[in-house]
Amino acid sequence: MIKMSFVGDISLGEYYLTFGHGPRSLMESGTNIFSDVSELFIGSDLVFGNLEGVISDVDYNPDSPHSRVFRGPPQAVDQLKAAGFNILNIANNHCVQQGAEAIRDSVRILEGAGITVVGLREKPITHISTNEGPIAVIACSLIPDNTDNEQQIYFAPSEQELIDTTRKASLDGTFTIVYLHWGKESTTEATPAQRQLAKALQNAGARMIIGHHTHSLQPVIV
């Protein structure tokens, strides 16, 4: 049996209302920002999270408020690893906010620590080996990018492309998870369009569809 835990958006930088007491500031002061939640992941074989922003100092200007927004420090990888995260998604609307090279550097940092990065445009399907057999993960964003809608770093498919990719991943019966940045922020119900797409993904072979982006809990769609 495989035990999996899923986390939504993880923002390790500051935000415009949190300078001095946001995640980056806390980590820089030596605080373990995951200390109150890491015990929830004990015993999990796979711990997924959506990394909303970079963990890179490429082109970092500490005197610029914008440069600290959605930008965690490189050493954040140590806290992520210690908390149990071993699969992180970078397909979301804030990941290229600090520039393409910063997100590429973040990918290098994460992979160097042994964390699997999902959601890359160049690799829309990631296969993960487990003692129960392979798992295919399709991570992507359906939310318009805050910085560059023409970006080619993360997987931002059309709905039909996502359905086709799901069908491809599931052809041989592989257990397929769609880890999806979608929905309407601050809502507690999936929209009719989400429900329709979820059904189409299920018909294409998805065994699990895990959403993030809304910043709120939503019910399970059966």
Q: Please state the φ and ψ torsions of residue 69, each to the nearest 5 degrees.
A: -75, 130
Residues 199-216 have a mean pLDDT of 96
- Position 222 pLDDT exceeds 70: no
Cα 149 from Cα 155, distance rounded (Å): 11
pLDDT bin (cut points 50, 70, 90) of residue 219 is: confident
Q: What percent of the chain has pLDDT over 70?
A: 100
pLDDT > 90? residue 221: no
What mean pLDDT value characterizes the chain? 96
Q: What is the pLDDT of residue 196?
A: 96
Average pLDDT on 46-70 reads 96
The whole-angstrom distance between residue 222's C-alpha and the CA centroid of its chain comes to: 23
> ∠ CA(206), CA(184), CA(8), 5° rounding?
60
Dihedrals phi, psi of 117, to nearest 5 degrees: -100, 125
